[in-house]
């Protein structure tokens, strides 16, 4: 089956590879700027994101005595496996850290109650031997998302193993049963079969029909929709958007290949760039304007500069970690299940510009 996961997933794989190189070879991400896999090239901005992920792992490692595994396939069950980004085992503390990097900007993923990181944790326990571990930290680092710092779910090894027995393994058995039903939901987002899945397509068409009626000349005006109609449309909006993105990705590939009636590939409009940067700087200066801007370095860059200038102690590292935050940029809608706290209506009112 062709992988419709598209550009973001392939870009994520590329950045995972860069992160692994940084951790394996002890190289700063900025030393890899310009590295390319033919499709993607590491930019300054993404080097800083990679460094944030690498700094987090190095912060955990700074507690000493960690054995580290990178990009290791682990099995949580004979039919369920995954590739662990980073595993840190501290034998003297009988503690295991499992770190999952996410380089997506769109969907915020928390480690709390996260099935994927728990599967990695169960697989890592099997790798090390559950009898050698008391506590497990399951971490997600998502540096390109603006809303959150890394998240961690802490479990005892016994509780994690119990979850595998009570929830994971019965779920795998149910999915493997003959004629197991297809059940579309939020989890379809990362399914490689979503562009071809009949169950998902049927659900999306049913939702579209319920929201728009059929046949219609145009979708209804949101201002005239009832609360129930708005909720039905919103409940399905993620799935519809992602399904359409998968359809667009497939049509793009078809248009690039043998073509598809009614569609073609055209060049996008690029950003403006100086033809000769030095000449442009001189020209702007000659006109009496400053061609440069000065701004503070990012937290990731500051950490590198401070670490170079001093031997960062644990206390200094902990203090540094408390000095930066990732402020939410704008208010956004989220489902009730989202781990972020809701903005209270009173707070939202107080933050309105006062006239």
Binding region for ligand SF4 (CB under 6 A): 182-184, 187-188, 191, 193-194, 197, 199-200
Q: Closest separation between CB of residue 103 and ligand SF4, Å?
A: 22
Q: Closest separation between CB of residue 249 and ligand SF4, Å?
A: 14
Tell me how far apart the alpha carbons of residues 9 and 126 are, in angstroms, rounded to a whole number: 28
Decide whether 70 or 191 has the Cβ nearer to ligand SF4: 191
Decide whether 98 or 188 has the Cβ nearer to ligand SF4: 188
Q: Closest separation between CB of residue 171 and ligand SF4, Å?
A: 13
Tell me how far apart the alpha carbons of residues 119 and 85 are, in angstroms, rounded to a whole number: 13
CB neighbours (10 Å) of residue 47?
23
Tell me how far apart the alpha carbons of residues 47 and 103 are, in angstroms, rounded to a whole number: 12
Q: Closest separation between CB of residue 251 and ligand SF4, Å?
A: 18
Q: Closest separation between CB of residue 202 and ligand SF4, Å?
A: 10
Decide whether 239 or 303 has the Cβ nearer to ligand SF4: 239
In terms of Cα–Cα distance, which of 92, 76, 104 is closest to 12? 104
Q: Closest separation between CB of residue 183 and ligand SF4, Å?
A: 6
Cα dihedral 138/142/148/152 (nearest 10): 10
Q: Give the helix ranges, DSSP H, for the chain.
A: 6-25, 44-61, 115-128, 157-163, 169-176, 198-212, 227-256, 277-286, 299-309, 314-321, 345-350
Decide whether 49 or 194 has the Cβ nearer to ligand SF4: 194
Q: Closest separation between CB of residue 5 and ligand SF4, Å?
A: 12
Which own/partner contact pairs does 206-210 have at CB distance under 8 Å and 24+ positions apart? 207/232, 207/233, 207/235, 207/236, 207/239, 207/240, 208/236, 208/240
Cβ-proximal residues to 20 (8 Å cutoff; 6+ apart), any chain? 70, 71, 85
Decide whether 182 or 274 has the Cβ nearer to ligand SF4: 182
Q: Closest separation between CB of residue 182 and ligand SF4, Å?
A: 4
Decide whether 240 or 321 has the Cβ nearer to ligand SF4: 240
Cα dihedral 20, 21, 27, 30 sign: negative
Decide whether 111 or 200 has the Cβ nearer to ligand SF4: 200
Tell me how far apart the alpha carbons of residues 71 and 87 are, in angstroms, rounded to a whole number: 9
Q: Are residues 167 and 119 in contact, defined by beta-carbon separation less than 8 angstroms?
A: no
Tell me how far apart the alpha carbons of residues 119 and 200 are, in angstroms, rounded to a whole number: 25
Decide whether 73 or 183 has the Cβ nearer to ligand SF4: 183
């Amino acid at each position: 089956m062709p992988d419709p996961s598209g550009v973001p997933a392939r870009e994520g794989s590329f950045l995972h590879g860069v992160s692994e190189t940084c951790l394996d070879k002890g190289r700063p991400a900025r030393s890899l700027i310009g590295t390319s896999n033919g499709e993607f090239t590491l930019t300054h901005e993404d080097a800083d994101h990679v460094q944030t992920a690498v700094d987090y792992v190095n912060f955990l490692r700074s507690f000493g005595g960690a054995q580290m595994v990178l990009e290791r396939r682990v099995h949580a069950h004979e039919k369920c496996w995954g590739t662990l980004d980073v595993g840190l085992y501290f034998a003297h503390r009988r503690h295991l850290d499992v770190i999952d990097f996410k380089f997506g900007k769109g969907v915020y993923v928390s480690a709390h109650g996260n099935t994927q990181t728990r599967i990695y944790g169960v697989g890592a326990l099997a790798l090390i031997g559950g009898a050698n571990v008391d506590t497990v930290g399951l971490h997600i680092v998502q540096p390109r998302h603006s809303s959150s710092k890394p998240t961690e779910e802490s479990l005892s090894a016994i509780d994690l193993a119990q979850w595998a027995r009570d929830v994971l393994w019965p779920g795998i058995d149910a999915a493997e049963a003959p004629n197991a039903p297809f059940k579309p939901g939020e989890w379809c987002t990362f399914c490689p079969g979503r562009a071809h899945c009949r169950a998902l397509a049927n659900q999306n068409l049913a939702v579209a029909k319920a929201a728009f009626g059929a046949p219609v000349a145009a979708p209804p005006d949101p201002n005239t929709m009832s609360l129930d109609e708005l909720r039905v449309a919103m409940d399905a909006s993620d799935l519809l958007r992602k399904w359409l993105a998968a359809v667009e990705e497939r049509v793009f590939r078809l248009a690039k290949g043998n073509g598809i009636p009614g569609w073609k590939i055209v060049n996008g409009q690029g950003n403006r760039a100086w033809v000769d940067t030095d000449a442009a700087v001189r020209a702007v200066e000659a006109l009496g304007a400053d061609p440069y801007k000065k701004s503070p370095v990012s937290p990731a860059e500051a950490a590198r500069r401070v670490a170079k200038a001093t031997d960062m102690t644990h206390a200094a590292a902990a203090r540094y970690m408390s000095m930066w935050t990732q402020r939410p940029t704008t208010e956004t809608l989220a489902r009730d299940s989202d781990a972020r706290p809701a903005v209270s209506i009173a707070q939202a009112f107080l933050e309105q510009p006062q006239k």
